[in-house]
Amino acid sequence: MNDPNFILNIYKTSLSDSEFTKLSKFIYDNYGIKLPLAKKTMLQSRLLKRLRTLKMSSFGEYINYLFSSEGLQNEVLYMIDEVSTNKTDFFRENAHFEFMTNELLPLFMKSNMNSLNVWSSAASSGEEVYTLAMVLSEFKDRNPLLNFNILGTDISKTMLSKAITAIYSENAIVPIPMHLKKKYFLRSKDRDAKTVRVVQSLRDKTSFQLLNLMNKNYETKIPSFDIIFCRNVLIYFDRETQEKVLNRLIDKLKPNGFLFLGHSESVTNMKLNVKQVKPTIFMKAH
């Protein structure tokens, strides 16, 4: 592994157009992520890490392994970790959380909906899940009858592991209001680590599950939901795939449940059983 000639040869190897086509077709067919030829250099640089880890000297060797029965069972999870984009932040697109606090949660309580199931369908490393948990927990403090459960799913095993551990850098929690930081995060005893961890009481309200939005059926731990977040993931899919994914998500929503999309995502001209309440916020019809 530390052979300098091996490392040098690894970084000289390149991904051919035909190899890229094989990989990009597999990624699109199985994960819905569209990679045009312009992304070849990006894919090559990300997968070089896997070649080095596996001590393989060419992308041809790697592809043969990836498509073997062993590779399809084991390597695919590592490959998609490298390919998928995992950008997320606490209180990202905060208008959604303000809408929940000021309008949606009071509406649910007035309708005697005291038990809420919430799904973060592209949870990445958990920031969205724990933001939702903080928002709901704060509302519960003022409305003790409320009970809630939050499910976070993602295609990346690595990201889900981070979400379950719930340890973040001090820089990551900068967007969080100070009173929430003090209430919901514990500093590491190792001050050099500069990390914090979400408190146990909040972690207890969450669960996580590996799930690919390209699956034809979403077998989730919680069968149906009052609120689903699917933000800033549809942008990686083509229009046809977006519509299929959205319809599957809506199937998991209860009547009058709410769907939240990312600010740059549009459902114009799609056949969906929802009505728009606000930009990027939709309610399922009866």
Q: Domain ranges in the chain?
A: 4-83, 95-284
Asked whether the domain spanning 95-284 has the same topology as the one spanning 4-83, the reply is: no
Tokens 């939709």 locate to: 282
**Nearest of 257, 251, 240, 166 to residue 207 by alpha carbon:** 166
**Per annotation, catalytic residue among 50, 154, 203, 226:** 154
Per DSSP, the three-state class of 64 is: helix
Query: Where would I find the beta strands (DSSP E) of 172-271?
Result: 185-187, 195-198, 206-210, 225-230, 253-261
* Residue 8 pLDDT: 44
Separation of alpha carbons 269 and 278, rounded Å: 17
* Residue 85 pLDDT: 67
Average pLDDT of adjacent 10-residue blocks, the chain of 286 residues: 49 82 91 86 90 90 92 86 79 94 93 90 95 97 94 92 95 92 92 91 96 92 95 86 94 95 87 92 89
**Per annotation, catalytic residue among 46, 52, 197, 248:** 46
pTM: 0.82
* Residue 86 pLDDT: 67
CB 250 within 8 A of CB 218: no
**pLDDT tens profile 192-216:** 888 999 999 999 999 999 999 989 9
* Residue 259 pLDDT: 97
Q: Which residues contact 163 (CB under 8 A, 6 or more apart)?
A: 123, 124, 125, 126, 129, 152, 154, 208
Query: Is 154 considered catalytic here?
Result: yes
CATH architecture for the domain at 4-83: Orthogonal Bundle (1.10)
CATH number of 95-284: 3.40.50.150
Query: Is 46 considered catalytic here?
Result: yes
Per DSSP, the three-state class of 217 is: coil
Provide the CA 251 distance to its chain's centre, in angstroms. 19
Tokens 């994914």 locate to: 245
**Nearest of 218, 257, 46 to residue 122 by alpha carbon:** 218
**Nearest of 228, 130, 144 to residue 180 by alpha carbon:** 130
Separation of alpha carbons 172 and 126, rounded Å: 12
Q: Which residues contact 50 (CB under 8 A, 6 or more apart)?
A: 56, 62, 75, 78, 79, 82
Per DSSP, the three-state class of 206 is: strand
